[in-house]
A and B are shown apart, each in its own frame.
Chain A
Amino acid sequence: MTEQHLPEPPGWALKLLHWYCKPRYLEAIEGDLYELFDLRCQSAGEKVARRGFAWDVVRFFRWKYIKGIENSNRLNQFAMWKNYFKISLRSLWRQKFYSAINIAGLSVGIACCLLIIIYIKHDLSYDRFWKDGDRIYRIAINDRGPYTPTRLGSFLKSDYPEVESYTRLNGLYDFSFAIGDNVFSEPGGSLADSTVFEVFDVKFIEGTPQGALSEPNTVVLTKSVADKYFPHETAVGKIIKSSGDAVKITAVVEDPPANSHMPFKYLVAMPHEYWATTGWWTGNNFFTYVKLAEGASEEAFEAKILDFMRKHMAKDLMETYHYDNFDDYLASDDSYRFTLVPIQEIHLNYPRLTLAESAGDMDNVYIFSAVAFFILLIACINFINLSTARSGSRSKEVGIRKVLGSVRGELIRQFMVESFLISIFSLGLAILLSLVALPYFNDLSGKQFQSTDLITVDNMLWLTLLLTAVGIIAGSYPALYLSSFKPVAALKGELKSGKSGSFLRKALVSFQFAISIFLVIATVIVYQQINHMTNQKLGFNVSNTMVIKAGSALKDSGPFFRSKLLENPNIGGVAASTTYPSQFVGDWGYSTVGDVKDNYSLYTMFADSYYLETMGVELAQGRFFSRELASDTASIVLNEAAVRELGWDDPIGQRLERTEGVFTVIGVVKDFNFSSLKRKIGSLAIRYDAEIHKTKWGSAYYLARVKGSYQETVNSIGELWGTIAPEEPFDYDFVDQAFAKLYESEAKFGKIFTVFSALAILIACLGLFAMAAYTLEKRFKEIAIRKVLGASVFSITTLVLSDFTKLILFGSIIAVPLAFYVMDQWLQEFAYRMELGIVVFLIPVLAVTLLAWLTVIYQSFKTATGNPVYALKQE
C-alpha cells in the first residue's frame, strides 16, 4: 500500500477538549473519541466523522469533566485566596460588634448615596428622551421672560434654512370639557401649532401626526386623559364640548415622560388662523421652539437673529419704544435679544422657562451631590478608623503569620480581602435598604421613582467602582502598616496599641464632626429662612382671601354673581382682578409723557374699585379708583416701589403713556407682596377695569374675603357657580395656600436636607460609639488602676468625655466659619433674608456635642462603675 492520507479529527476540537477536560478523564475520553472517529470514517466517511468528533467534544463539555479551579496550574495561589476569605470571615465574625457597625454605617451611607444619585440623575435627565433633543431650542427673550412674538417661529423658518422646523406652544392651561352632561376641568392643556410633532417626536397610539392639529377645534389627548374619559372605547373621532365649541379628538399620544419640561396632558389646536399670520412684533404671547438642522451652529444662528430683528421687527420696536434709529434702540436699556436655550437645559438652568410645576435647580444638584459625598465620606472614615484602631490588636496574628513564612504581599492581600468583604456586604445591605426606603424617599422628594430606577446596570457599575475605591482606601492603611511589622516586635507586643494611627484617627473623627456640625447648621438655617419668608408681612390680608377662578365664564352675569356673593353672610367683601397675589404678573412697557420720553417696565394688573378694601392693601397717597368715575379707565395707581423707580417726588397727577392711551396717576398704594418673597417687591401699576369678567387684558379672578367657615363658604359659592356658569367647573384657591406653594421647593429641599443630615450624624455617632468602645477597652486597666487609687466614677467619666469633647470642638472650629460662608452665599438669592445670628451656629454645635456625649457616656459610665478586680485579675 502506498503512503496515503490518514483521516485526522479536527485539531481545534482536540485543543478544546484538552483545554477544558479534567486530566483524570482526558485519556479515556480522547481514546474513545478516536475510536469512534475511526469507526465513522469507515462507515460514513471522513467529513461526517470529523463533524461527529467535534460534536462529541462539545457534548462532553459537562460539569463533571470541566477542570475546576483546583486543576489550574496556580494551585497554591488559589488555596491562599481561599484561606484569605476564610480567615477574613472568621475575623469579621469574631469582632461582631465592630463589623456590624462598619457594615451598618457603610450601608446606610451607600443607600443614601444611591438615592441621591437617582434623584440627581433624574434631574439631569430632563428632556434627554426626545429624538434630536440636542437640536431643539427654545427661543427666550433675555431677562424678559418666556414669551416670544407670534410670528417669530414661522418667519425664522422661512428666512433661514438652518431652521428645520418650528412650533409654538402656550400653556399649560386648565380647559374645561363637557362630555355628555358632565363638565370636567382638566389641567395640563397646551395650545400648539400643528408643527409640534415635527419638532417633538411624540409617539402616536392612535391617529397620525399629519393633520392632527391643523384645524381649529381639534385636540390630541395623551393616553392617560383618553383612558380617563373614554375608558373602554376609542377616543379618536369623539366630539367634546369646550367653552361652547365642538372639539374633535384627532389622535391619542403617549404621555410625555415625567422628566419633561412640558408635561402636557393634551394639545389643543391654535383656535384662530390669524394667530399665525398677524400679530405685533412687540407682543409676546407664545413659547417658540425651533429645531435646527443637523450640523447648524447654535452660536452662528443666534448671531443671525439680530439681522432678523432689524429686518422684521425694527419698525414695531422703534415705534413702541420711541426711537428714531434702530441702532439707538439696540444700544438702549429697552432693547432685548432673542437667545436660544437648549431644551435639555431648561429644567435645571432656566426655571422661568419650564412649563412643569416645579423647576429643578442646578444648585440643588450640586448641594445634594455634596451631601451624598459627605455622608459617604463619614461612613468611610468610620471604616478607616475602626480598621486602623483594631489593627493594633491583630499585631500578634501578623507576627505569627510572618514567622510561619508569610511575605508582605500576602499579608496585604489578607487585609484587603477583609476590607473588600465588608464593602461587599455593605453593598448588598445598601441595595436592600434603599429599596425599603424608596417609598419614603418618593414622599420626601415628590418624585415617582421605581425600584427599576434604582437597580440599573449604570448604578451598579457606579457602586462597584465606588466600593472598590472605598475598599482600597479603608484597607490600605492597616494593610500597609501592619504588614510592615517586624515579627519579633509584633510578638513581644511592642506595637500593641497601634499608636501611630491615633493622630490620624483623631483628625478623622474631628473631620467627621466638622461635617456633621456643618450639616446641622445648614439645616437650621434653611428652616429658619423658610420660616422667615412665610412669616413675612405681605402687606395685605393673606389668611382669609379666597380666589374664584375663571371669572370670564360668568360673562354678563358678573355683577349678578358679585351681588349674590355679597348676600352670603360668610363673605366680607368681593373684588375682581386680572391676577391674584402669588401669581404671575405681566410687565408692560410705559413711557413718561413729555419731550424726553423715559421708558419703564411696570408689572401691570387690572382691578375693580373694590380691590383695595377687599385685599386690605393700604393707600399711601391720593385715592383709589371710583366706580362713579367712568374716566378712571384712564387713571393709574402705582405702588411705592414704582414711584421710587420713576423718581417722582409728587406722583399724583403725573402721566404715563402706552400705545393704548395716556394714564394719569391718581394714587399710590403701600408696597405689598404680589409675587414671591424670593424677589423684592417690584414696581406695580394697577389699572381700572370695572368689568373684569369681560376683561380683554387677561384672566378674571374674583377675590372674596371669607369671614366664616371655609368649607361652608366654598360649598355655597360652588352651588351658586353651578347655577350661573354650569358649563365651567368651579375652581378656587386660597391666597395663603398659593403662597405656601411658592416655597414648596424650598420646603422640600429643607426636608430632604434634614433627613440626610440626620443620617450623616447618625453614621458619625455610630463611628464614635465604636471608637469609644474601643478606646475604653484599651484603657480598661488604666481605668481600673485609677479607680483602685481612688478616682471617682464622675472624674473617670469626665476624663473620657473630655477627650472626645476636644475632638468635637476642634471640628466645630473648622465647621462654623465654613458654614457661615456657604450659607451666607445661599441666602444671597433671597430678597428677604434672615439674620445670621450667633444662635444658629451655637445651637448646632451644642446639639452635636450633646449627642456625642450621649453616645459615649453610656460606655464610659459602664466602664467607670465596673469592678476594677475584673479588669486587673487577667493574666
Chain B
Amino acid sequence: MQRINLGEFEELVLLIAAVLHDNAYGISVLQEIEAQTGRQINISAVHSALDRLEQKGYLKSYLGGATNERGGRRKRLFSVTASGAKALSDVKEMRNTLYDQIPKVTLKLNFV
C-alpha cells in the first residue's frame, strides 16, 4: 500500500470537508469540527489545513458566488477530489484491518 501523507488534523479536516459535501469552506468546517468533536480551533489553523490538503491534491477549491453576508466577500469552497476520497478509504481500510487483528484479550483487559 502506498504511504498516505495525512496528519491527524488534516485527516479530520478532510473528513469534515467530505461530510459537508458542497458547503465546505473555512467557517463551516470550523463549526462542524467544533460540533462533532468539541475541539476549539483557530480559523487560521483550518485555513492552513485546507490549503495543505489542496496542495497535496486531496481537495480542490473554487470561489463561490458573492453574497451580502461576509462583507460581500466570496467563499472559497472546497470539494474532495478522487485521490482525496481514495486516501480516506485507504486510511479507513488500514485502520479496520489493524483493529481487527487486535487479540480480544487485550481489548478486554484494557477497555472493559
Residue numbers of A with Cβ under 8 A of B are: 25, 27-36, 38-39, 56, 59-60, 62, 64-65
Contact = CB atoms under 8 A, between A and B. Distances in A.
B47 interface: yes
B51 A64 contact: yes
B48 A64 contact: yes
Contact of A56 (B44, B51, B73): B44
Contacts of B51: 25, 64
Contact of B76 (A27, A33, A62): A27
B54 to A, nearest CB: 11
Instruction: Give 10 nearest A-B pairs by CB, closest first.
Output: A31-B73, A28-B76, A32-B26, A59-B44, A31-B70, A34-B71, A60-B44, A34-B70, A35-B27, A35-B70
Given A27-B63, A56-B42, A32 B25 contact: yes
Interface of B: 25-27, 30, 42-45, 47-48, 51, 63, 69-71, 73-76
Nearest to A29: B47
A213 B14 CA distance: 79
A34 B42 contact: no
Nearest to A58: B44
Contact of A30 (B45, B48, B63, B73): B73
B20 to A, nearest CB: 14
Instruction: Kindly name the residue among B42, B43, B76 whose own CB sees the greatest number of chain A CB atoms within 10 A.
Output: B43
30 contacts: A25-B51, A27-B73, A28-B26, A28-B63, A28-B73, A28-B76, A30-B71, A31-B26, A31-B70, A31-B71, A31-B73, A32-B25, A32-B27, A32-B43, A32-B75, A33-B43, A34-B69, A34-B73, A36-B27, A36-B30, A38-B70, A39-B27, A56-B44, A59-B42, A59-B43, A60-B43, A60-B44, A62-B48, A64-B48, A64-B51
B23 to A, nearest CB: 13
A30 B73 CA distance: 7
A38 B77 CA distance: 19
Contacts of A27: 63, 73-74, 76
Contacts of A33: 43
Instruction: Kindly name the residue among A32, A34, A36, A64 whose own CB sees the greatest number of chain B CB atoms within 10 A.
Output: A32
B43 A36 contact: yes
A28 B28 CA distance: 13
Contacts of A39: 27
Contacts of A60: 43-44, 47
A27 B66 CA distance: 11
Nearest to B67: A31
Given A28-B76, A31-B75, A33-B43, A38 B69 contact: yes
B110 to A, nearest CB: 38
A60 B26 CA distance: 13
B74 A62 contact: no
Contacts of A31: 26, 70-71, 73-76
Contacts of B48: 62, 64
A25 B30 CA distance: 17
Contacts of B44: 56, 59-60, 62
Contacts of B63: 27-28
Instruction: Kindly name the residue among A35, A39, A62 whose own CB sees the greatest number of chain B CB atoms within 10 A.
Output: A35
Contacts of B76: 27-28, 31
B59 to A, nearest CB: 13
A14 to B, nearest CB: 9
Nearest to A32: B26
Given A31-B71, A35-B27, A62-B48, 10 more contacts: A28-B73, A30-B71, A31-B70, A31-B73, A31-B75, A36-B27, A59-B43, A60-B43, A62-B44, A64-B51
A634 B20 CA distance: 120
A56 B71 contact: no
Given A60-B47, A62-B48, A35 B74 contact: no
Contacts of A34: 69-71, 73
A38 B75 CA distance: 15
A34 B71 CA distance: 6
Contacts of A62: 44, 48
B75 A28 contact: yes
A407 to B, nearest CB: 40
Nearest to B61: A28
A56 B71 CA distance: 16
Nearest to B77: A28
A32 B41 CA distance: 14
A27 B72 CA distance: 10
Contacts of A65: 47
Nearest to A56: B43
A30 B25 CA distance: 13
A59 B74 CA distance: 21
A33 B44 CA distance: 10
A35 B71 CA distance: 8
A31 B70 CA distance: 5
Contacts of A28: 25-26, 47, 63, 73-76
A873 B27 CA distance: 75
A696 to B, nearest CB: 88
A62 to B, nearest CB: 6
A729 B69 CA distance: 96
Nearest to B50: A28
B56 to A, nearest CB: 14
A72 to B, nearest CB: 22
Contacts of B26: 28-29, 31-32
A33 B51 CA distance: 16
A590 to B, nearest CB: 93
A27 B63 CA distance: 9
Nearest to B52: A64
Contacts of A36: 27, 30, 43
Contacts of A29: 26, 47
Contacts of B42: 56, 59
A565 B82 CA distance: 107
A64 B45 CA distance: 12
